[in-house]
Chain A
Amino acid sequence: MVENRPFLTFIAHAVIILGLLIIVFPIYIAFVASTHATEDIVTTVQPWFGSQMVKNYATVLGSGKETAGGVPVGMMMWNSLIMAVGIVVGKIAISLISAFAIVYFRFPFRMTCFWIIFLTLMLPVEVRILPTYQVVAQLGLLNTYTGLILPLIASATATFLFRQFFLSVPDELAEAARVDGAGPMRFFFTILLPLSRTNIAALSVILFIYGWNQYLWPLLITTETNMTTIVMGIQRMLYVADSIPEWNLTMATAILAMLPPVVVVLVLQRQFVKGLVETEK
């Protein structure tokens, strides 16, 4: 029996609200700071909104922070967006197909391939950075979107996730499709893919945030300012040699950088919660 003590419910809510406040507080401060003029926030932390919101955001989006190279934040966000979307699409496409091959086909060295994919879990970007950089440089992919995206799109974790999911799809479904005349690819697109919707939605969220937050790799391979990603951009804004750090603009950039992942989570959340709630049979 589930106890229904109002006091415990109150405590539960209080804890959640407290946690929420702790997390939201810095974001609130940042947002508030981004709405003031430079002079107002250089020495104190402002508790309430200022009047410079439109001006600050327009400056930042349009022409960027002067002392950080004057790169428009709008362009940096665009770069980040392309990189993140490319990584999501690439990772999901590749891992779906790999998992499909491993689960539904019998071919020589099948298990060897599986274990090799497993081994790559031990090789994140940081470990393989030198050879990867060399290859990308030799292929002439520095300062390109391809160079930003390509080395990051193989994913062992996503392959495993989809493999586990495909193993849970009853064999009879594949057989029924086979009897109906569906070849492997038609089965993949018309049956497996729709059934994988929830997994794809969940993974997209995780991978988008992963791609959006990439720092080391973009930092290494982009030298031209028009290929800067926003995460790199924020870092640049923090180091100012002689002039006043314009916190209002930096905070504005930070707020803008946070928005797309939040949007992605909100949009896809409905999809995968819906999928979790409906039981598939």
Chain B
Amino acid sequence: MAEVRLVGVHKTYHEEEVIHGVDCHIANGEFLVIVGPSGCGKSTLLRMVAGLETISEGDIHIGERIVNNLEPAERDIAMVFQNYALYPHMTVFNNMAYGLKIRGLAKSEIAARVNKAADILELGEFLKRSPRQLSGGQRQRVAMGRAIVREPSVFLFDEPLSNLDAKLRVQMRLEIKKLQERLGITSIYVTHDQVEAMTLGHRLMVLNGGNVEQLGTPIELYECPASTFVAGFIGSPSMNFLDACIGNDGDSVALPGGENLPLDKSLKGLEAGRPVTLGLRPEHLEHGADGDGVAHLNVDVIEQLGADTIVHGHFGTSSTDLTVRLPGVRYLKPGEMLPLTVKPGHLHLFDPANGTRLDG
């Protein structure tokens, strides 16, 4: 059990910097999820914490120690890999016992720990089997068992659910969450899947091109995204972005198509006529009665999901496609004009130049 601190961590490969300074303090027992698109550097960052990559600049602390120059085995960590990385020629028991044997633990102690982990993960009947006789989900559990028996200070997960089918992924997600809560071990989890990130993490770190876009709780990221990148990454279907500008009175935002939506008081105070990027989440656009502060959507395509209806359309003559999520089953026809309202608090404004959040 330990806290992890990343201080000014940089990584350079052959003159090219891929991680541009990451600072983060992970509290004891916290579950941090590092999320981002492919190539953003999240696996690299995790591997630097693990000790599988060298750190070009900065420090990483695990507990009281600076671990920059320590081998992975000396850092008191355990890692679960994307492809499980089980030793194919050993039984499940031996896979889990391997690290402990190297450490020189007594046979009885090893057996005790392995059996306990097997109980937690319901692997008891598989202990004598070899990995090739197991299914994907079972192998993943063995990989987690191998991590648990080491009783480390930090768990590291490198996209462990990517190779599982969708249904199994949902199931394993819950198991990981319950496991972490039960064991209370500090965990760092890397994924590109924002649903996994939102459901598992106490806090999320959104990485983009080696930069930390935002670090906060899932709901903070959802309600208050720091940039268009974070706003578009979290939430599905993803947030709509429109080119708009502040209305003449500074109290509203003018949509393409001429209609205005009122702004929340926290966003008032921006100069009139200023171009902005307006962010609207599909689930926040509600079907409203005609009147003030209502925007009319030209309906193009309707997707019926049963629980929701996804409506695609555009405002006025704008070419930007808008997505709206309406609850329940709604029968709409292409070409209809759908009146939409948004609560002022659900409007997000971003600077068109760099995508950062604008506040009043």
Q: Check A280/B132 contact, CB under 8 A, given A175-B52, A178-B52, A181-B102.
A: yes
Report the minimum CB–CB distance from A174 to chain B (whole Å): 9
CB distance from B237 to the nearest CB of A (A): 34
A126 in contact (CB, < 8 A): no
Residues of B within 8 A of A190 (CB): 98
Instruction: Give the segment of B69-77, B265-273, B297-305 that binds chain A.
Output: B69-77
Task: Report the bound CA distance from A280 to B89 in whole Å.
Answer: 8
User: A residues within 8 A CB of B103?
Assistant: 181
The verdict on B87 contacting chain A, using a C-beta distance below 8 Å, is: yes
Produce 1/0 per residue, A239-281, CB < 8 A to B: 0000000000000000000000000000000000000001111
Q: Is A179 positioned at the interface, with any CB of B under 8 Å from its CB?
A: yes
- The CA of A36 and the CA of B78, in the complex, are separated in Å by 72
Query: Do residues B88 and A280 form an inter-chain contact, with CB atoms below 8 A?
Result: yes
Is the CB of B222 closer than 8 A to any CB of chain A?
no
A178-B132 contact, Cβ under 8 Å, with A173-B85, A173-B87, A186-B102: no
Q: State A278–B130 Cα separation when bound (angstroms).
A: 12
Residues of B within 8 A of A181 (CB): 72-73, 99, 102-103
State A280–B130 Cα separation when bound (angstroms).
Answer: 10
A191 and B89 alpha carbons, distance in the complex (Å): 8
Q: Which residue from chain B places its CB closest to the CB of A278 in the assembled complex? A: B132
- Chain A residue numbers with a CB within 8 Å of B150 are 180
B78 contacts which chain A residues (CB < 8 A)?
Answer: 179
Contact A191 B132 (CB under 8 A): no
Contact A194 B83 (CB under 8 A): no
| Given A180-B98, A280-B88; A172-B73 close (CB under 8 Å) | no
Q: How far is the CA of A262 from the CA of B290 in the complex (A)?
A: 93
Identify A191's interface contact among B72, B87, B131, CB under 8 A: B87
> Distance (Å) between the CB of B72 and the closest chain A CB?
4
Q: Is B81 part of the binding interface, using a Cβ–Cβ cutoff of 8 Å? A: yes
Which residues from B are CB-within-8-Å of A37?
Answer: none
Contact among A172, A194, A278 with B81 in the assembled complex (CB-CB below 8 Å): A172
In the complex the two chains form, is B102's CB within 8 Å of A281's CB? Answer: no
Q: How far apart are B95's CB and chain A's nearest CB, in angstroms?
A: 9
A195 within 8 A of B: yes
Q: A178-B73, A179-B77 are in contact. Are A170 and B52 (CB under 8 A)?
A: no
Identify which of residues 189-227 in chain A touch chain B, using a CB-to-CB cut-off of 8 Å. Answer: 190-191, 194-195
Whether A178 contacts B83 by the Cβ 8 Å rule is no
Q: Are A170 and B73 in contact (CB under 8 A)?
A: no
The answer on a CB contact under 8 Å between A180 and B99 is yes
Partner of B83, one of A172, A182, A191: A172
Q: How far is the CA of A14 from the CA of B101 in the complex (A)?
A: 57
Q: In the complex, what distance in Å separates the CA atom of A281 from the CA atom of B103?
A: 26
> Once the chains are docked, how many angstroms separate the CA of A181 from the CA of B152?
13
Once the chains bind, are B77 and A194 in contact (CB under 8 Å)? no
Shortest Cβ gap from B171 to chain A (Å): 22
Beta-carbon nearest neighbor of A175 in chain B: B52
Complex interface: chain A residues within 8 A of B52 (CB): 175, 178-179
* B255 located at the interface, meaning its Cβ lies under 8 Å from any Cβ of chain A in the complex: no
Question: Is A176 at the interface (CB under 8 A from chain B)?
Answer: yes
**Nearest CB of B to A281, in Å:** 5
B6 proximal to A (CB < 8 A)? no
The CA of A186 and the CA of B73, in the complex, are separated in Å by: 14
Chain B CB within 10 Å, residue with most, of A170, A175, A186, A280: A175
Contact A170–B102 (Cβ < 8 Å): no
B88 touches A179 (CB 8 A): no
Query: Are the C-beta atoms of B132 and A176 separated by less than 8 Å?
Result: no
Q: Is the CB of A195 within 8 A of B89?
A: yes
User: Nearest Cβ distance between residue B289 and chain A, in whole angstroms?
Assistant: 58
Q: Does B212 contact A (CB under 8 A)?
A: no
**Cβ contact within 8 Å between A176 and B73:** no
In the complex, per-residue mask of B12-49: 1 if CB is within 8 Å of any chain A CB, else 0: 00000000000000000000000000000000000000
B50 on the interface (CB 8 Å rule)? yes
Cα(A186)–Cα(B87), bound, Å: 14
User: In this complex, what residue of B is CB-closest to A190?
Assistant: B98
Residue of A nearest to B152 (CB): A179
* Cβ contact within 8 Å between B79 and A182: no
**What's the Cα separation between A175 and B43 when bound, in Å?**
14
**A162-190 Cβ-contact flags toward B at 8 Å (1 or 0):** 00000000101101111111100010001
Instruction: Please list 27 pairs of residues, one from A and one from B, whose beta carbons are closer than 8 Å in the complex, sorted by A's number.
Output: A172-B83, A172-B85, A173-B85, A173-B87, A175-B81, A175-B85, A176-B85, A176-B87, A177-B87, A178-B52, A179-B72, A179-B73, A179-B77, A179-B78, A179-B79, A179-B99, A180-B146, A181-B72, A181-B73, A181-B99, A181-B102, A182-B102, A190-B98, A194-B89, A280-B89, A280-B132, A281-B88
Question: Which residues from chain A sit less than 8 Å from chain B, CB to CB?
Answer: 170, 172-173, 175-182, 186, 190-191, 194-195, 278-281
Binding site for A on B (CB under 8 A): 50-52, 71-73, 77-79, 81-83, 85-89, 98-99, 102-103, 131-132, 146, 150
Q: A173-B87, A179-B73, A186-B102 are in contact. List 5 more A-B contacts (CB 8 A).
A: A175-B52, A178-B72, A179-B50, A179-B51, A182-B102
